[in-house]
Amino acid sequence: MGKMLKSLEAYYQHNGISPMDFCCRHWQACSEGNQRITQAKGAFVGTDYEKGVLPRLLFLSLDPGSSNKEPERRTVEGVRLEEHECKVADLPKQRHWYRTHELALILLEKFRPDMRIENSHLYFAHVNSVKCSMNNSNHKQARRMLFEKCREYIGGEITILKPDILVTQGQFAKVAVEKEFKILPGSEDNQVSSYKWVHIGGKQTLWFHTYHPRNFGKFNQQRREFFKNWAEYVYRVFQR
């Protein structure tokens, strides 16, 4: 385990949200009335993201949806192993996880022309705004309270991951960034194509906001009209 993952595990342990020693102070409130809830899941961190081979691309999305795996499979090492076993080509094309791989490929492939969607996971990281899984039917979104309770953990988690590029997926992820980080002057902002610069851990980070892929119409409008332009801007800014 590299230094970044060790720091992340230590952060989870300190805050009581480690899958292996879970003692979150919000657990009683969040789990009340839900017998299906699964305790926290760690971030996914690609191996070359951790090494900083390319500009570090971090996705912040919503809640984990569903996760009934044993605690060992929900640690950062377990999540990485699961992703390495994932066959991206077999994922549903309109769902969140395929679209995340696809956007990572779009934003980073100019830096690595041999990149394919199957290995794009090596170069990005992914964090959930909510740490526990409510395991709602049909992946229904977690209650608002969980987003509000977990928000206190997001700033430290993202700071450890040191992103160069941050992509938020969905409104609760956007709100978390707005509340946790300073937005710098000179950002462009409109409803569909916004990008901003935010201050994270002593550095400037480029921030794009997308609708969640479940919001098919608005997400696909962004995908058609702006993703390639974002990729061109990323390459101009970060080419070495």
Q: Which helix (H) or strand (E) holds 59?
A: strand 57-61
Closest CA to 125 of 93, 157, 152: 157
The answer to whether residue 192 scores a pLDDT higher than 90 is no
The answer to whether residue 53 scores a pLDDT higher than 90 is yes
51: left (phi over 0), alpha (psi -120 to 50) or beta: alpha
Q: What are the pLDDT digits (tens) for 13-41?
A: 999 999 999 999 999 999 988 888 999 99
Higher pLDDT, 115 or 140: 115
Provide the residue range defining the domain that includes 201: 3-238
CA 124 from centre of chain: 9
pLDDT score recorded for residue 188? 60
CB 151 within 8 A of CB 176: yes
CB 118 within 8 A of CB 105: no
The answer to whether residue 170 scores a pLDDT higher than 70 is yes
- The pTM assigned to this predicted structure is 0.94
Q: State the virtual CA torsion across 73, 59, 155, 31 in degrees, nearest 10.
A: -50
Distance CA 77, CA 73 (A): 8
pLDDT score recorded for residue 3? 93
Q: Count of domains in the chain? A: 1
Provide mean pLDDT across the span 72-88: 93
pLDDT score recorded for residue 204? 94
Higher pLDDT, 230 or 135: 230
Tell me the pLDDT band of 191, cut-offs 50, 70 and 90. very low
CB 113 within 8 A of CB 54: no
Distance CA 12, CA 42 (A): 8
pLDDT score recorded for residue 4? 96
**CATH number of the domain where residue 95 is located:** 3.40.470.10
